[in-house]
């Protein structure tokens, strides 16, 4: 069963694009409104479709019929519908084609610029993380091995620390 984890203003999008495959895109997005009253949770907020136009185009399709990249956008959209103060994205680029990775990066940047939520991005794809990070933290075996400002990642040799 997909996890829609919203607690105390925190929304978590787990690795693996967990969506409700038998529900339509619109129904999946409405699940993100579960913390609101029935009156407030009747329709998908317009800002979700503005961020992810493909979801509006496919709102009557079943979640399970979407491509991996579209499912990832759906999972992020569902989390955003809860209007979190902290959005945690766990490996959002995993198994997604480059064009969709760019779209997701652009959405994350737009969300960050709005300034109404913090975004914690757990990511192994260095270029994606470097392009978006204000701050970074590198962990190995559960220990923090380096931290700093996103703009200094290249100069501080982070790529060498995270190369798999």
Query: Using H for helix, E for strand and C for coil, what is the string for 92-126?
Result: CCCCCCHHHHHHHHHHHHHHHHHCCCEEEEECCCH
- 128 part of a folded domain: no
- 44 part of a folded domain: yes
Same-domain check for residues 91 and 143: no
pTM, full prediction: 0.88
Side-chain-facing half-sphere of 67: CA atoms under 13 Å: 9
CATH number reported for the structural domain that contains residue 98 in this entry: 3.40.50.300
Query: What is the length of the chain?
Result: 164
Dihedral sign for Cα 12, 111, 46, 37, please.
positive
| Pick from 24, 22, 6: nearest CA to 14 | 6
Q: Given the DSSP bridges, would you call strands 118-122 and 135-140 parallel, antiparallel or unpaired?
A: unpaired
User: Domain tally for the chain?
Assistant: 2
Per the DSSP assignment, residues forming a β-bridge with 62 are: 24
- 125 part of a folded domain: no
| pLDDT score, position 55 | 96
Same-domain check for residues 79 and 21: yes
- 127 part of a folded domain: no
Distance CA 20, CA 2 (A): 6
| pLDDT score, position 105 | 95
Q: Given the DSSP bridges, would you call strands 86-90 and 118-122 parallel, antiparallel or unpaired?
A: parallel
- 65 part of a folded domain: yes
Residue with tokens 């490996």: 91
Neighbouring residues of 37: CB distance < 8 A, sequence distance ≥ 6: none
| Pick from 41, 120, 55, 52: nearest CA to 85 | 120
Same-domain check for residues 73 and 98: yes
> Which residues constitute the domain of residue 112?
5-120
Per-residue pLDDT of the chain (164 residues; tens, 9 = 90+): 454 455 568 999 998 878 999 999 999 999 888 777 677 767 888 999 999 999 999 999 999 999 999 999 999 999 999 899 999 999 999 989 998 999 999 999 999 999 899 999 999 889 999 999 999 999 989 999 999 999 999 999 999 988 65
Q: Are the beta carbons of 32 and 80 closer than 8 angstroms?
A: yes
């Amino acid at each position: 069963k997909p996890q829609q984890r919203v607690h105390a203003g925190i929304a978590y999008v787990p690795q693996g694009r967990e969506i409700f495959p038998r529900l339509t895109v619109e129904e999946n997005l409405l699940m993100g409104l579960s913390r609101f009253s029935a009156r407030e949770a009747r329709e998908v907020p317009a800002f979700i479709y503005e961020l992810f136009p493909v979801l509006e185009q496919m709102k009557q399709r079943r979640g399970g019929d979407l491509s991996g990249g579209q499912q990832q956008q759906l999972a992020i959209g569902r989390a955003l519908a809860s209007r979190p103060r902290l959005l945690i994205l766990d490996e959002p680029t995993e198994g997604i084609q480059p064009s969709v990775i760019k779209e997701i990066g652009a959405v994350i940047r737009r969300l960050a610029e709005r300034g109404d939520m913090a975004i914690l991005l757990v990511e192994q794809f260095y270029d994606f993380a470097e392009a978006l990070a204000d701050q970074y933290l590198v962990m190995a075996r559960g220990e923090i091995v380096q931290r700093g400002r996103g703009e200094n990642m290249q100069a501080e040799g982070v790529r060498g620390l995270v190369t798999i």
